[in-house]
Structure formats: C-alpha cells, structure tokens
Amino acid sequence: MILQDSEFGEVIVRRSTWCKNPKFSVSTSGRLSMSVPAHTSEFLAKRWLNASRRQIRDKLPINDPRTQRARDAQKKILTKKARDYLPYRLEFWAHKYGYRYSNLRLSHANTRWGSRSSSGTISLNIGLMKVPEALRDYVILHELAHINHMDHSPEFWAEVGAHDPNYKRHRQLLKQYKPGF
Ligand SMILES: [Zn+2]
C-alpha cells in the first residue's frame, strides 16, 4: 500500500508477518518506507506515521524526504509549464513544416524525451521544460519527422537535419539531461 503524505511524499507501506512494531527506512530513491504488522489498516498506518514524524525526521538523512518533496514539487511545476507551452510549440513547428499529428500526450516517462505512435499521437516528456529551448525544439522536430519515417534511417535524419541543421550537436547535448525525476 502507498500513502500520500504532505511531508514525506509517497510512503511505501509493507505488511509483514514478522513485524511487531512499525519500522521506518529510506530507499535509495529517497522514498520513505514503513514496515507494519500484517493486517494493519490504512487508517492505523497513517496514525503511526503521524505519531512518528519527529522520530522519522531525526532518524532519516535530512535530504532524503526533502529530495522526494522537491521532486514532487518540481514535477507539478513542470507539468503546468508543459501544458502551457508544449502544445503551442508542437503546433508551431507542425504548421511551419506541414506535418499532421492526431494528438499530443504529455508524459512523465523516465527513459524517453518523446515518441510517436502509429496512431499519430505524439508524446512529449514534461522534463523537456528543464532543457534549453534549442534541445526541446530538436526533440519536437525529431518526433514530427517520425510522421514521415518510422525508423532512424538516413532519410529520417536528412529530414530532421533540414529543419534543425544543428541536430547532431543538439542530440549530443541532450545526453547531459535526464527526462525522469
Ligand atoms: Zn526517434
């Protein structure tokens, strides 16, 4: 079970037969997890969490819960920015070069900046709002070029290059950034 906590973000709750008293630990991703006795209800787990706040704060490396909170907050801000910006930017380039796509989906994937499905939907990662505009435009032009070329053939790259002459450099620079949180 996962609890949403305003201070610690997502808290993973594990029920265990051997557990007599709740125990708290931090995963490498900075998430708080909590072991509780089997059959513990969500209500009781929340009560334990509330009663242990001070102990958790003292015990945990100070940055971990904050990092999780910071990431959650950043995700919210980026989602809003992405909603306000990416549909217009995609439309701008599509209109300029005569591309047609059916739909834009904003994604939170950890591994890719964008994709294009065979149904014509273009997905763009909200993390694009963290990268310089030239690299963001490269990703958009890359996905638009997939409308005409499903693969990464020389013809595909020629089309990307026609719209973004510096695409090789942009592609390289983009590797310094990670789409996830
Ligand atoms: Zn591609």
Residue 71 Cα to ligand 1 midpoint, Å, equals 27
Mean pLDDT of all residues in the chain?
Answer: 89
Position 67 in a domain: no
Q: Are residues 87 and 170 in the same domain?
A: yes
Burial grade of 52 (CB within 10 A; 0-12, 13-18, 19 or more) = middle
Distance 167 CA to ligand 1 centre (A): 12
Confidence of residue 62 (pLDDT cuts 50, 70, 90): very low
Average pLDDT over residues 28-37: 81
Q: What is the pLDDT of residue 67?
A: 62
In angstroms, what is the span from residue 157 Cα to ligand 1's centroid?
Answer: 9
Domain that holds residue 168: 74-174
Distance 97 CA to ligand 1 centre (A): 18
Same domain, 85 and 53: no
Q: How big is the CA angle at 76 (ends 84 and 113), to the nearest 5 degrees? A: 70
**Rounded distance from Cα 171 to ligand 1 centre (Å):** 11
With a cut of 60, say whether residue 90 has pLDDT above it. Answer: yes
More confident residue, 64 or 179: 179
Regarding whether 130 and 41 lie in a shared domain, the answer is: no
**pLDDT tens digits, residue range 117-131?**
988 899 999 999 999
User: What is the mean pLDDT of the segment spanning 66-81?
Assistant: 77
Torsion of CA 33, 36, 41, 43, to 10 degrees: -60
Q: Phi then psi for 14, rounded to 5 degrees?
A: -110, 125
Residues 87 and 56 in one domain: no
Whether 40 and 111 share a structural domain: no
Q: How far is the CA of 3 from the centre of ligand 1 (A)?
A: 37
Q: How far is the CA of 115 from the centre of ligand 1 (A)?
A: 7
Q: Which of 38, 60, 82 is the last residue of a domain?
A: 60
Residues forming a β-bridge with 104:
122
Q: Minimal CA–CA distance to 124: which of 108, 145, 146?
A: 108
CA dihedral 124, 130, 132, 138 (to 10 degrees): -20
